[in-house]
């Protein structure tokens, strides 16, 4: 029996069972046993079949962008705008990068120092920004008093905090962490506020009907619904934290703690253009990797909520 005939037959069986007549389960079991790969049914593509084209579709635009950027760089070098000892061609910079990666142990120490500062500062900013956003979202008084201030703090250039950080903490790790937290926390708090403001009122009403009140309403209904916007705020917060950290490492030089910003400044002082551009590429790539991680998390959240177009 075909799949189209099983639906009315199933209805007849259910109707017969309601009238006390014994249904015919064999026919239903025969139809239910039919699988998507049976004759007459089109094969269902698996996730493995779709992963390759999807990966290529996400990769080739980035490759084209990289090739265009390298081509533009090479054209500027060939134009003679600056001498090659100030603006070297890409091949020279990549050779220097290979030397750093494979023959300079301090390169990896610098990456470790910078990433340790970034993770610690960003984690602190997430805690502070999330707590601040939740507090402001639950209080009209705090919203009226601090809402515009949070947006104002977000617009302040991170470098303007360093004179104050120097006065409070001196030229050390605490000054760098202070600026990183102040650079990232306001954008994270704004992400919390935007996410909560965009939660449909029907969600909170339904949660109250089901018995959720107070913090349980936020934990079980409001925060999960606000999560996609919150992740977008985290991504923006990471960008602010990364920029603040690079500015801090350029201004606060600790000789016993080599970092990417410190090595970048040394390359400038020594007129080492290939090394300077190599470190700039490393900073760019690390920032892109973190951004891609946040984008992947955001896509997973949208997929779970059925918001993806594909």
Q: Tell me the average pLDDT of the chain.
A: 81
Summarize pLDDT for 57-74 with one digit per residue, the tens: 767 788 898 899 999 999
For 40, list phi and psi in degrees, rounded to 5.
90, -15
CA distances from 67 to 19, 76, 262, 296 (A): 73, 14, 29, 24
Which of left, alpha, beta for 20 (phi over 0: left; psi -120 to 50: alpha)? left
pLDDT at 91 over 90: yes
pLDDT at 273 over 50: yes
Closest CA to 182 of 200, 198, 168, 202: 168
pLDDT at 223 (0 to 100): 83
Summarize pLDDT for 10-21 with one digit per residue, the tens: 444 434 444 444
Average pLDDT over residues 24-43: 45
pLDDT at 260 (0 to 100): 94
pLDDT at 118 over 70: yes
CA pair distance 250, 168, nearest whole angstrom: 19
pLDDT at 49 (0 to 100): 56
107-113, Cβ contacts within 8 angstroms, sequence gap of 24 or more: 107/263, 109/258, 110/258, 110/259, 110/260, 110/262, 110/263, 111/260, 111/282, 111/286, 113/257, 113/258, 113/259, 113/260
Helix (H) or strand (E) holding 142: helix 140-155
Neighbours of 298 (CB within 10 A): 19
- Asked if residues 225 and 199 have their Cβ atoms less than 8 Å apart, the reply is yes
- Asked if residues 169 and 230 have their Cβ atoms less than 8 Å apart, the reply is no
Average pLDDT over residues 263-282: 94
Average pLDDT over residues 2-27: 43
pLDDT at 153 (0 to 100): 87
pLDDT at 89 over 70: yes
CA distances from 164 to 122, 159, 189 (A): 20, 10, 22
pLDDT at 23 over 50: no
pLDDT at 117 over 90: yes
For domain 91-304, which architecture applies? Answer: Orthogonal Bundle (1.10)
CA pair distance 26, 11, nearest whole angstrom: 14
Residue 164, both tokens: 């104050």
Neighbours of 3 (CB within 10 A): 12
pLDDT at 11 (0 to 100): 42
Residues in the chain, total: 310
CA pair distance 87, 280, nearest whole angstrom: 13
pLDDT at 27 (0 to 100): 38
Angle CA(273)–CA(246)–CA(249) in degrees, nearest 5?
Answer: 90
- Asked if residues 130 and 123 have their Cβ atoms less than 8 Å apart, the reply is no
CA pair distance 48, 31, nearest whole angstrom: 28
Summarize pLDDT for 197-240 with one digit per residue, the tens: 888 888 888 888 888 887 788 788 888 888 888 888 898 899 99
pTM value is 0.75
Residues 6+ positions from 167 with CB-CB distance below 8 Å: none
pLDDT at 257 (0 to 100): 87
CA pair distance 170, 158, nearest whole angstrom: 17
CB-based burial label for 197 (10 Å; 0-12, 13-18, 19+): exposed
CA pair distance 278, 281, nearest whole angstrom: 5
């Amino acid at each position: 029996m075909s799949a189209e005939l099983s639906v009315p037959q199933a209805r007849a069986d259910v109707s017969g069972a309601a009238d006390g007549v014994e249904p015919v389960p064999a026919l239903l079991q025969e139809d239910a046993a039919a699988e998507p790969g049976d004759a007459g049914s089109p094969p269902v593509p698996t996730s493995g079949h779709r992963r390759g084209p999807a990966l290529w579709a996400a990769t080739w635009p980035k490759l084209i962008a990289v090739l265009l950027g390298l081509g533009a760089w090479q054209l500027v070098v060939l134009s003679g705008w600056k001498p090659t000892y100030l603006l070297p061609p890409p091949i020279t910079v990549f050779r220097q990068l290979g030397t750093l990666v494979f023959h300079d142990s301090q390169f990896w120490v610098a990456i470790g120092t910078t990433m340790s500062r970034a993770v610690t500062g960003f984690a602190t900013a997430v805690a502070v920004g999330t707590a601040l956003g939740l507090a402001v979202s639950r209080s009209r008084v705090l919203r009226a008093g601090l809402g515009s201030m949070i947006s104002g703090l977000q617009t302040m250039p991170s470098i303007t905090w360093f004179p104050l950080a120097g006065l409070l903490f001196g030229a050390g790790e605490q000054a760098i962490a202070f600026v990183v937290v102040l650079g990232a926390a306001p954008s994270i708090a704004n992400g919390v506020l935007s996410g909560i403001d965009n939660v449909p009122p029907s969600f909170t009403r339904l949660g109250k009907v089901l018995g959720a009140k107070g913090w349980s309403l936020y934990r079980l209904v409001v925060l999960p619904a606000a999560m996609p916007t919150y992740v977008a705020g985290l991504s923006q917060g990471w960008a602010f934290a990364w920029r603040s950290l690079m500015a801090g490492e350029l201004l606060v030089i600790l000789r016993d703690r080599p970092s990417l910003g410190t090595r970048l400044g040394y390359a400038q002082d020594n007129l080492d253009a290939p090394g300077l551009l190599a470190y700039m590429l490393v900073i760019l790539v690390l920032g892109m990797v973190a951004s891609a991680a946040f984008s992947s998390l955001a896509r997973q959240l949208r997929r779970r909520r059925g918001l993806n177009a594909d």
